[in-house]
Amino acid sequence: MKHFLFLVFFLFASFTFAGDFPFQPPFSVDENGTIRDAEGQKVKLWGVNYLVPFNHNFVNIQQSGIPHTACIDRDMAHFRLMGVDFIRVHLYDREITDARGHLISNEHLRVFDYLVESAARNGIFLMLTPTVWWNTVENEVRMQEGYAYWDLSQQANFGFSNYFAKDAILWHPEAIECQKRYLRELFGHKNAFSGRRLCDYPNIVAIELTNEPQYLPASRLNGQRPKMGAELFRDEPAPNYLKEYAGQELAQVRGEILTRYFQALWPIVDEFFPQKVLKTHIFYDVATPEIEQALRSGGVQAVNWVAYWNAVGKFDGGNTDWANFFDQAKSWLASHRSAHHPAGMGKIIYEYGASSSLDGYVLGAFAADFNRADVQMAAFFTYTPSAVAEYSPGWLIHYLSLEHTPNKAAAFAAAGEIFRSEIPLGDLKWEPEAWTGPNFAITRADKNVDFLNAERGVFRYAASTSREIPAEELARLTVISGRGASCAASSTGTGAYFLQKNPQAEAAWSLTLFPNQSYVNDPSGAKTFRHMANRYMNINNIPVVSRLSEVPVEFELKPGVGQITAVEPVFNSAPAQQKVREGVWRIYPGEYRLGVKKP
């Protein structure tokens, strides 16, 4: 198994064409709120949140013993197979800054550098959120390690957000100055692997200043002003920085604070990104005139929306696939349509997911919803790094892995095609157990997302499908991905497979075949009866939730596509292949060059 798992990045190089971007940056937003690239094309990006350099993921990968860079290599290979167009990263500022907001050169930053460079080399766009504020697992781990002997001198990267309440990030003068220093040093930082400044990467196409901000609570205007920042180390009481707002309506104060926040920080973005990036901000209170005006005066071009479907009404453990998520999908779309959308601003889904669900059809429902809502960028939260995916640690109720959630990952690839498609009004058919469109079917019973674009030669599915394709269309296929059996290909294994026709050789295809997979524990953990089930877990102290089995499976292309006449492993050390009968081969997981006799 190790042969396949650790070399998949290099194996994948022959399957695709790394470095080609689907759209030409920079992006802009027209008067109708449509995000367009430099050539005027309407942008549609299907992506994931990915956090290897930070928080749970960083610590768990350290525990695995696998280098973070090797994990990124493997995941980038997976992303290209799955059709990931962009990655959203909210940086854990507490891990890469000091108390005054100065950037700290450490392993977190080095891994982030590698991620940025790898994304550029693989033709993947980035959306960055520099300040997340949230506490980090590293604080917990370092305190556990130091126990009674822990002190701040042992942790240089005890960043500025540790010293401020969440709402103060938007208004406290010292917090604003910390962010100014941080943004200038971050954007001007030279990549450890390329030497390029962060601001010189053209694949950075969108920036959100801060993740899920908290607007000023009413208690602040009523006198609750705890010490923050440097005030913590002074004897005098905390200054009343909010006294000028005394007597004003809370909505007006919040709008003014956000306006000033933008006035302080967006010019730094403009300075370092003169080629322009999309300026985005979260949907919070956007229906409030004061907040919408702050976004407009600040030059915000796109609103970041969220789509979390929680079968039990909260983020909790315990598998939820007993629920029919089509119901949640219809409710979300109705709610999103009725919400206030600022005219002329683009729509981005910065995070989405169905908590504690493993069924692939749900991703198809998300894609159809987002297509209908005219969302142009959507990022699943969150992709589980391959180095630790067998444990599903960290954000355990949000589980996506090409190896360890094969149905869900194959569905993600097919759902991305639905998301990017044009679905004419009235062509989406809603039924209680299935949604269908002109070129796709999303079915709950078999956990499937099935997509065909005959003109482009693309056929993707997440489970065995009975779709029939005319012979002339089968012969034109150039990309096939899925699991199980179809009229184009079949595998007796449970892992996903990806096929691509060689454009330079009619009789040659590339095949990437993943190992069999089975769940041995519930990945989402036990029900906690808490609002948030996500929590840090040390992988040295927990059992695996998923196992891979690298055993041979029978694989074939169907006659309409062509008959496999030869199977050549990309690596000579791969286990031997065996021809079972005409066109059917017994092969191990890995990557192969196939000789194919035309139909």
Task: Provide the CATH number for the domain around residue 208.
Answer: 3.20.20.80
What's the whole-model pTM score? 0.95
pLDDT in tens, 170-197: 999 999 999 999 999 999 999 999 999 9
Burial letters 287-296, b for 16+ CB under 10 A, else e: ebebbbebbe
> What does the pLDDT read at residue 533?
64
> What does the pLDDT read at residue 76?
98
User: What is the average pLDDT across 284-304?
Assistant: 98
| Residue 8 within any structural domain of the chain | no
CB-CB neighbours of 101 under 10 Å: 24
pLDDT in tens, 472-486: 999 999 999 999 999
For helices 68-82 and 2-12, angle between their N-to-C axes, nearest 10 degrees: 60
> Which residues lie closer than 8 Å to 5 by C-beta, 6 or more apart?
74, 386, 403, 548
Helix (H) or strand (E) holding 255: helix 250-272
> What does the pLDDT read at residue 13?
37
DSSP 202-240: TTEEEEESBSS--PPPHHHHTT-----GGGGG-SSPPP-
| Residue 393 within any structural domain of the chain | no
| Residue 389 within any structural domain of the chain | no
Cα separation, 589 vs 575, in Å, equals 9
| Residue 299 within any structural domain of the chain | no
237 burial type by CB count under 10 A (0-12 exposed, 13-18 middle, 19+ buried): exposed
* Domain membership of residue 220 as a residue range: 45-58+82-288
Q: What is the overall mean pLDDT for the chain? A: 93
Q: Where are the beta strands (DSSP E) in 50-117?
A: 86-90
pLDDT in tens, 561-591: 999 999 999 986 667 789 999 999 999 999 9
> What does the pLDDT read at residue 330?
96
pLDDT in tens, 43-86: 999 999 999 999 999 999 999 999 999 999 999 999 999 999 99
Closest CA to 464 of 445, 498, 499, 490: 490
| Residue 101 within any structural domain of the chain | yes
User: What is the average pLDDT across 90-113?
Assistant: 98
Task: Report yes or no: 358 and 399 within 8 Å, Cβ to Cβ.
Answer: yes
And the tokens for 376? 């142009």
User: Per DSSP, what are the bridge partners of residue 596?
Assistant: 564
| Residue 254 within any structural domain of the chain | yes
> What does the pLDDT read at residue 12?
39
| Residue 89 within any structural domain of the chain | yes
Task: Report yes or no: 467 and 441 within 8 Å, Cβ to Cβ.
Answer: yes
Q: What is the CA radius of gyration of the chain?
A: 25
| Residue 451 within any structural domain of the chain | no
Q: How many structural domains compose the chain?
A: 1
